[in-house]
Amino acid sequence: MSRSLDEIKIIPRHIAIIMDGNGRWAKERGLPRTEGHRIGADSVSEVVEECGKLGVEFLTLYAFSSENWKRPKREVSALMTLLERFLKTKTAEMLEKNVRLQAIGRLHDLPKSCQEQLHRSIEKTSQCTGLTLILALSYGAREEIVDGIKSLLESVEKGHLDKAMIDNDIFAKHLYTRYYPDPDLLIRTSGELRISNFMLWQISYTEFYVTETLWPDFRKEALHLAVKAYGQRQRRFGAI
């Protein structure tokens, strides 16, 4: 057993990760940014596998934000190709490791072939009962909240919902994340102290962990450190 597994006693039920620093990782090595993303995909595989082994139930990865569409066309295209290839080549491994794939975000914005592959992988892994891997794709928390409000209004207009009944729980049922518990632990790599439009509603009581490690270097030992730090936090949810 890995030494870094010592002392891990409390496992977060849901881990969310802002995977950052791929570009800097590549720049430090004189490589194109896309190389950082390519090696970053290897970190994704390793972290997914390790979360499954640790008994984490949900892992949400911020893989492509609503704002990422503003990047140069070539980089966006390389990221979409990488995502599609990842799904194509890793679905068998997900099945073998009992990983159920899900996705949140404005998925209809993704290139058609990417959407099709995503839905194929989701369908193929739908019976898996281990880790649920949720990819946030073309995801923005403000967009999610706006979409949630539209969905609520529609329910009220159709007479399925009484306006007076709307509370936190009912609103949460209109978000992309309605099937999942809120994250217990949010990890951000590469040292930036920002939320970057990620899960604004869901992280109200989530524990934050920021590491200087760049995403392509974030492997199982780094994950163990984050989980260990989480185990030392006292969560009071506003109570005393």
| Region of 16-24, 49-57, 109-117, 179-187 interacting with ligand FPP (CB under 6 A) | 16-24
Has 20 been annotated as catalytic? Answer: yes
How many residues in the shown chain lie near ligand FPP by CB under 6 A?
18
Q: Residue 174: in which H helix or E strand, if any?
A: none
Determine which one of 68, 147, 197, 217 is catalytic.
68
Q: Where would I find the beta strands (DSSP E) of the chain? A: 14-18, 58-65, 100-104, 132-139, 185-188, 207-210
Q: Does 135 bind ligand FPP (CB under 6 A)?
A: yes
Of residues 44, 78, 118, 222, which one binds ligand FPP by CB under 6 A? 44
Residue at shortest CB range from ligand FPP: 23
Query: What tokens were used for 91?
Result: 């679905």
Site string for ligand FPP, 17-36 (x = CB under 6 A): --xxxxxx------------
Has 6 been annotated as catalytic? Answer: no
What is the secondary structure of 71-140 as a DSSP string? S-HHHHHHHHHHHHHHHHHHHHHHHHTTPEEEEES-GGGS-HHHHHHHHHHHHHTTT--SPEEEEEEEE-
Looking at the annotation, which residues are catalytic? 20, 68
**Site residues (CB under 6 A) for ligand FPP?**
19-24, 37, 40-41, 44, 61, 63, 68, 82-83, 86, 135, 215
